[in-house]
Amino acid sequence: MELFLHQVLAGLATGGIYACMALAVVMIYQAIDHLNFAQGEMAMFSTFIAWQLIQWGLPYWLAFGATIAISFVAGVAIERVVLKPLHNAPVLSHVVAFIALLAILNSAAGFIWDYTIKSFPTPFGNGPLFEQGLMSKHDGGMIAVTLLMLAFLYLFFRHTRIGLAMRAAAANPESARLAGIRVGWMTALGWGMAAAIGSVAGMLIAPVVFLEPNMMLSILLYGFAGAVVGGLTSPGGAVLGGFLVGIVENLAGTYIPVVGREMKLTIALFIIVAVLCVKPSGLFGRPIVTRV
């Protein structure tokens, strides 16, 4: 039982990483109605920017804030420059654009900062959060920040007009236009916010996995898993989904002998497929109630 609880706690710690990424995934899914495969690389690139700022001598929190702002602007710019022209193109064109973006960001980061592993500072400290270890101060801080972002998003989407306009634009673009909403800019805003959230995720994840151009490859997959479990439409569901994936992964690694370390990533894929088969709208996704 003790082992079980420990593993759940450790799962929560890794789950915090996934939850953070899943939040960014859901954000973009809400804005563009599909997944952005380049999201992990965008977060990675943002994290490098933060690292560079810190190298240049900026205090951590200043670099943190500046990175969020830069990422937001870059996210908006990517939408306006790369994706707006594809506006009427089929989904496949978008997928190709995402993959191109992924490759470009990955090699650009490698070119500018090279592929050696860098350590990234944590503002929360490295010591254990509790006596028994398992969850570090950093893990705790990461979970707290994730929950804070979630609260912010909730308030933003539920209680601001611009949040409502974004939801309207995503749910029914044509009808939103007829209400005078500038749908294109709402999408760009969604990209900006997703990039900003992704940058926070990257900066929180980097102290754990170390900073290098490929750091987000597997984490994005876990983020997708968390988001799919959560139903892709609900930020709260995504965070819960992220934690669940972390816990399941840890428990499976402990109790199912064949899983071990190498097979862990398969768990994410397995969870995605399983959830899609059993409950396509996710565990927390609101099924649409329609009457005709």
Partner 1 sequence: MSKLLEARALCAFYGATQVLFGFDLSIEEGGITTLLGANGAGKTTTLRALCGMVRTTGDIRFDGKAIRGRATEDIVRLGIAHVPQGRGTFSRQTVEENLEIGAMTRSGRAAIDADIERVYGYFPRLMERRRQQAGTLSGGEQQMLAVGRAMMLRPRLMLLDEPSFGLAPLIVEELFGILRTLNQTEKVSMLVVEQNAALALDLAEEAYLIETGELVTSGPARQLRDDENIRRAYLGY
Among 34, 84, 87, 182, binds partner 1 (CB under 8 A): 182
Please report whether residue 166 would count as binding partner 1 according to CB under 8 A.
no
Residue 160 CB neighbour total at 10 angstroms? 11
Nearest to 241 by CA among 146, 120, 117: 146
In the complex with partner 1, the residue whose CB is nearer, 116 or 290, is 290
Q: What sign has the CA pseudo-torsion 188, 193, 199, 202? A: negative
- 189 sits near partner 1 (criterion: CB under 8 A): no
Q: Which of 90, 257, 262, 291 binds partner 1 (CB under 8 A)?
A: 291
Which of 199, 166, 197, 205 shows the shortest CA–CA distance to 183? 166
Q: How far is the CB of 191 from partner 1 (least distance, A)?
A: 19
In whole angstroms, what is the distance from residue 139 CA to residue 76 CA?
30
Q: Would you say 2 or 174 has its CB closer to partner 1?
A: 174
Selected range binding partner 1 among 6-14, 67-75, 81-89, 178-186, rule: CB under 8 A:
178-186
The C-alpha atoms of residue 229 and residue 280 are separated, in whole angstroms, by 9
Judged by CB under 8 A, the residue of 112, 155, 179, 276 near partner 1 is: 179
Residue (278 or 288) nearer to partner 1, CB:
288
The residue within the footprint of partner 1, chosen from 2, 81, 116, 161 (CB under 8 A), is: 161
Q: Does residue 2 contact residue 123 with C-beta atoms inside 8 Å?
A: no
DSSP β-bridge partners for residue 211: 118
Q: How many CB atoms lie within 10 A of CB 133?
A: 12
34 scored as a contact of partner 1 (CB under 8 A): no
Does position 174 interact with partner 1 (CB under 8 A)? The reply is: yes
- Which of 137, 177, 264, 279 lies at the binding interface for partner 1 (CB under 8 A)? 177
Residue 85 C-alpha from the chain's centroid: 25
- Residue 290 is a binding residue for partner 1 (CB under 8 A): yes
Determine the size of the site formed for partner 1 (CB under 8 A).
Answer: 23
Query: Nearest 10 degrees: CA dihedral of 39, 45, 47, 49?
Result: -140
Quick check: 165 binds partner 1 (CB under 8 A)?
A: yes
- Asked whether 30 and 234 are in contact (CB, 8 A), the reply is no
Examine residue 167 and tell whether it contacts partner 1 (CB under 8 A): yes
**Three-class SS state of 11:** helix
Q: Which stretch binds partner 1 (CB under 8 A): 98-106, 167-175, 234-242, 266-274?
A: 167-175
Is residue 175 close enough to count as binding partner 1 by CB under 8 A?
A: yes
Please say whether the beta carbons of 185 and 176 come within 8 A: no
Q: Pick from 104, 108, 164, 283: which binds partner 1 (CB under 8 A)?
A: 164
Query: What is the binding site for partner 1 (CB under 8 A)?
Result: 161, 164-165, 167-168, 171-172, 174-183, 286, 288-292
